[in-house]
Amino acid sequence: MAYQIDITLTPHKKEKPASDKLGFGIHYTDHMFILDYSVDKGWHDARIVPYGPITLDPAAKVFHYGQTIFEGLKAYRTADGRIQLFRPQKNFQRLNLSNARLSIPDVDGELALEALKALVRVDQDWIPDAPGTSLYIRPFVIATQAALGVAPSTHYKFMIIMSPVGAYYAEGINPVKIFVESDHVRAVKGGVGEAKTAGNYAAGLNAQEAASKKGYSQILWLDGVHRSYIEEVGSMNVFFKINGEVHTPALNGSILAGITRDSMIQLIKSWGIPVIERPITIEEIYEAGRTGALEEAFGTGTAAVISPVGELNWRDERLTINGGKTGELSSKLYETLTGIQNGTLPDPFGWTVEVPQA
């Protein structure tokens, strides 16, 4: 099925930042995609327009009741000049799971993918090609009805914006120090933790600031009920290599079902290493650390791909992991997944989707 997507090109292309000055989510491309929703018309008026400010009533529901969800994925420029996306269908599947949880109407996943490809094509000169760089893509939905009653909105905007991003590890992949949070929680079963929605991130800002002041770059989140089961690290999923096996928290309703998480699990299994998804307590990780059974720990997500954990601090007890160095499995996962993503390695899983440039 072909969708009608109107394209209005900008008369004023912006200057592109140097590839060593990209940062993360600071610069935006020349265009953006917008799709409107009203109860009367459903989703309508698909269009690519010049990137620019949007105008909303100050009573728009997104400002007051947080009815909003988002996704994150990347486009890569291969060495032979092709453009590829990484598992974009999974993002739009999850977008609709998030929509359902937030009482937002479904977005047609095929239209979304078509729109994304068209947008990437229009702004293809923005895809950086220096090692480790990529084009970060942020699809999101916001509730726009101007009404202060607490009820689902009658109007929404689905948008896609894009930002060229730098190498996450400018000086090579490097382990981070993680603070295990005992006071605040990110989410709880029955809440919105498995949806990719704004409130989950707002809830974590305080603890992240406090950890940062203590010299820790991320939070390890424990569950809200027992304050014992490990949930996520920062805004990443988390993995532990223990006695030659890989363990990761099972999806339990309060953890985001990361697409990088799913890809890592498939990769690790393909190498003959067992992956066990199950509830994991912080106590047993510390115990495994003390006995030497804990070999590696790492977070996984779209932005960093992999983030090795060199040290945990839980209730003032520090646990150094793998001597504070990046582990062998972490390195291999990073090299393999980024290789598939940027096209330097074959893609045996059929994960990449090429964007035709014609």
CB of 199 to its own copies, least distance (A): 2
Of the candidates 145, 167, 2, 130, the residue with the CA atom closest to the CA atom of residue 62: 145
Judged by CB under 8 A, which of 9, 18, 39, 151 binds its own copies?
151
Q: Which is nearer to its own copies, 68 or 84 (CB)?
A: 68
Q: What are the structure tokens assigned to 241, written together?
A: 């290599």
Q: Which is nearer to its own copies, 55 or 323 (CB)?
A: 55
d(CA 102, CA 230): 25
Q: Which is nearer to its own copies, 224 or 258 (CB)?
A: 224
Biggest distance spanned by C-alpha atoms of the chain: 64
Q: Hey, what's the torsion of the CAs at 229, 234, 237, 241, to 10 degrees?
A: -70
d(CA 199, CA 192): 8
d(CA 253, CA 187): 9
d(CA 235, CA 255): 10
Give the containing element (helix H, strand E) for 297. strand 294-301
Q: Which is nearer to its own copies, 159 or 230 (CB)?
A: 159
CB of 257 to its own copies, least distance (A): 18
Q: Which is nearer to its own copies, 91 or 322 (CB)?
A: 91
Q: Which is nearer to its own copies, 189 or 278 (CB)?
A: 189
Query: Per-residue x/- mask for its own copies, residues 122 to 141, rule CB under 8 A?
Result: --------------x-x-x-
Query: Per-residue x/- mask for its own copies, residues 165 to 204, rule CB under 8 A?
Result: ------------------xxxxxxxxxx----xxxxxxxx
Considering only residues 298-327, where is the footprint of its own copies by CB under 8 A?
A: none
Of the candidates 358, 353, 356, the residue with the CA atom closest to the CA atom of residue 92: 353
CB 162 within 8 A of CB 138: yes
| Cβ neighbour number for residue 252 with a 10 Å cutoff | 15
Query: What residue type is 86 in one-letter code?
Result: F
Q: Which is nearer to its own copies, 70 or 126 (CB)?
A: 70
Q: Residue 349, interface with its own copies (CB under 8 A)? A: no
Judged by CB under 8 A, which of 14, 41, 44, 64 binds its own copies?
64
Which region among 47-55, 109-117, 241-249, 305-313 touches its own copies (by CB under 8 A)? 47-55
CB of 221 to its own copies, least distance (A): 10
- The sign of the CA dihedral 22, 26, 31, 35 is positive
| Cβ neighbour number for residue 354 with a 10 Å cutoff | 12
Q: What are the structure tokens assigned to 176, written together?
A: 């981070």
Q: Which is nearer to its own copies, 208 or 263 (CB)?
A: 208
The burial class, CB within 10 Å (0-12 / 13-18 / 19+), for 5 is middle
Q: Which is nearer to its own copies, 132 or 199 (CB)?
A: 199
CB 209 within 8 A of CB 197: no
Q: Residue 215, interface with its own copies (CB under 8 A)? A: no
Q: What are the structure tokens assigned to 130, written together?
A: 């220096």
Q: Residue 97, interface with its own copies (CB under 8 A)? A: no
Q: Which is nearer to its own copies, 52 or 131 (CB)?
A: 52
CB of 88 to its own copies, least distance (A): 18
Query: Per-residue x/- mask for its own copies, residues 233 to 272, rule CB under 8 A?
Result: -xx-------------------------------------
Judged by CB under 8 A, which of 6, 9, 14, 24 binds its own copies?
24
CB 322 within 8 A of CB 310: yes
d(CA 126, CA 355): 14
Which chain residues interact with its own copies by CB under 8 A? 24-26, 28, 32, 51, 53-59, 62-68, 70, 100-103, 136, 138, 140, 142, 146-152, 159, 161, 163, 183-192, 197-206, 208-209, 224-225, 227, 234-235
